[in-house]
Amino acid sequence: MRVNTAWLQIPRQGVKSGRLLAADLTHFSAFPTKDRVWSAELKVTWKQTTARRHFGEPIDVSDIQSIDQQLVQDAEFGLLLLDQDDRIVWLNRAMAEILSASPETLLGRRRVQLGEDAQQMLSTAPKLFQDSEHQRWVTRAMQRAASGERLLIVQDVTASEQLAEENARLRQQVADLQVTDELTGMSNKRAISQALDLHVSRSRRYQNPLSTVLVHVDTNDLNSVQPLSSDPIILAVSRFLRDRLRWVDQIARWEDKLFLLVLPETAELDARGLLEKIRAEQDALELPGPYGDLRPRLLFGLGCWHKGDDMRTLLRRTLDDLRENSDA
């Protein structure tokens, strides 16, 4: 069944002779599931009306008229056909709504004759485009025929993008609420920061001694061994350090190869004594098989609370001491 071309508003004189691939419409299957029914119906209708044995065989541009136009007009994604001279020769209702214009004002015009917003919308770079004026996201794709005709497909994906942003926000909230390090099972930076802040507040109130230690795991001496990751080393060091602390002390994985020890009620002399003990027992640090007798080098930075210190001041002093020892 052929559809009246005047009703379609496709000016046949505006379409030069050429051929489009029926496979061009298979691009619709890339759209969300709710729209794929249109893709299936379009392809079935296309095959039936063109009476070709193999779907994907080249067809004349005029055969676009043979598709059930109710399908393409009611599709929720925008379709727009450009001829070789970049003139708009056909579009569906969804595309007219996306461009905020009536079909009559668009047909027969080149893209460069449209407003800046419309030109930007009818571009295909980037594929995902944020239309700030209308607060929406769209994807664009262009299917080209060898003769020069182009089929532009525009899909409003605002709902899916908003859902993705919401999922990302929720994942970040969950990550922010985590208080343990996944590898070692120790407190993470967030948790130890909260605990240290409480210890500093207690020291400021009661003048209690408080020390912090940063332990950097230097793996440069292990470069001759090429494991898949440094996780086994970090895990072994975390167990080694934890076994040498009092029950009241706290340890956390501060960064990838950096641990923070919080030593309440510990003055500088006692803290240095603990560090000397850890240094003396480093041979007891056991690494997995591939490392043999190799050991990482542990570098220490010590900071002791002084009157007037807040958490940041104490940690800055601890980090400065670590840097001095690393340069030594």
Cα angle for residues 55, 143, 107 (degrees, 5° grid): 110
Confidence (pLDDT) at 62: 53
Greater model confidence, 187 or 10: 187
For the cut 50, the answer to whether the pLDDT of residue 45 exceeds it is yes
Q: Tell me the average pLDDT across 169-187.
A: 87
Of residues 66 and 326, more confidently modeled:
326
Average pLDDT over residues 13-17: 40
Question: Which pLDDT score is estimated for 240?
Answer: 95
| Greater model confidence, 114 or 320 | 320
Structure tokens belonging to residue 242: 């934890």
What distance in Å separates the CA atoms of residue 281 and residue 240, rounded to the nearest whole number? 9
Q: Look at residue 1 and tell me whether its pLDDT is greater than 60.
A: no
Kindly list the domain boundaries of the chain, sorted by start residue: 5-156, 177-327
CA proximity to 67, closest of 100, 102, 92, 104: 92
CATH of range 177-327; options 3.90.79.10, 3.30.1280.10, 3.30.450.20, 3.30.70.270: 3.30.70.270
Please check the confidence at residue 168 and state whether its pLDDT lies above 60: yes
User: In the predicted model, what is the mean pLDDT of residues 294-302?
Assistant: 92
Asked if pLDDT for residue 277 goes beyond 50, the answer is yes
Question: Which 8-state DSSP code applies to residue 14?
Answer: G
pLDDT bin (cut points 50, 70, 90) of residue 16 is very low
* pLDDT of 40: 55
The pLDDT score that the predictor gives to residue 35 is 45
Cα-Cα end-to-end distance for the chain: 88
For 119-141, how does the pLDDT look when each residue is reduced to its tens digit (9 = 90+)? 888 888 888 888 877 888 888 98
pLDDT of residue 53: 39
pTM here is: 0.52
> Distance between CA 320 and CA 290 in Å, rounded?
34
DSSP 2: P
Helix, strand, coil percent values for the chain (each to nearest 5): 45, 20, 30
Kindly list the distances between the CA atom of residue 204 and the CA atoms of 109, 201, 242, in Å, as whole numbers in the listed order: 75, 5, 27
Instruction: Provide long-range contacts, Cβ within 8 A and 24+ apart, for 25-29.
Output: 25/143, 25/151, 26/56, 27/141, 27/143, 27/153, 28/77, 28/153
Predicted pLDDT at 63: 54
5-156 folds as Beta-Lactamase (3.30.450)
- Could you tell me which residue, 146 or 216, shows the higher pLDDT? 216
* Better-predicted residue by pLDDT, 62 or 244: 244
**Distances in Å between the alpha carbon of 9 and those of 12, 15, 122, 165?**
9, 12, 20, 40
Say what the pLDDT of residue 21 is: 41
pLDDT over 70 percentage in the chain: 78
Judged by average pLDDT, the poorest of 27-41, 72-86, 153-167 is: 27-41
Is the model's pLDDT at 175 over the cut of 50? yes
| pLDDT at residue 301, rounded to an integer | 97
Per-residue pLDDT tens for 220-272?
877 777 666 788 899 999 999 999 999 999 999 999 999 999 999 999 999 99
**Per-residue pLDDT at 288:** 78
pLDDT 10s digits, 67-93? 677 787 888 889 999 998 999 989 998
Lowest mean pLDDT among 20-29, 105-114, 303-312: 20-29
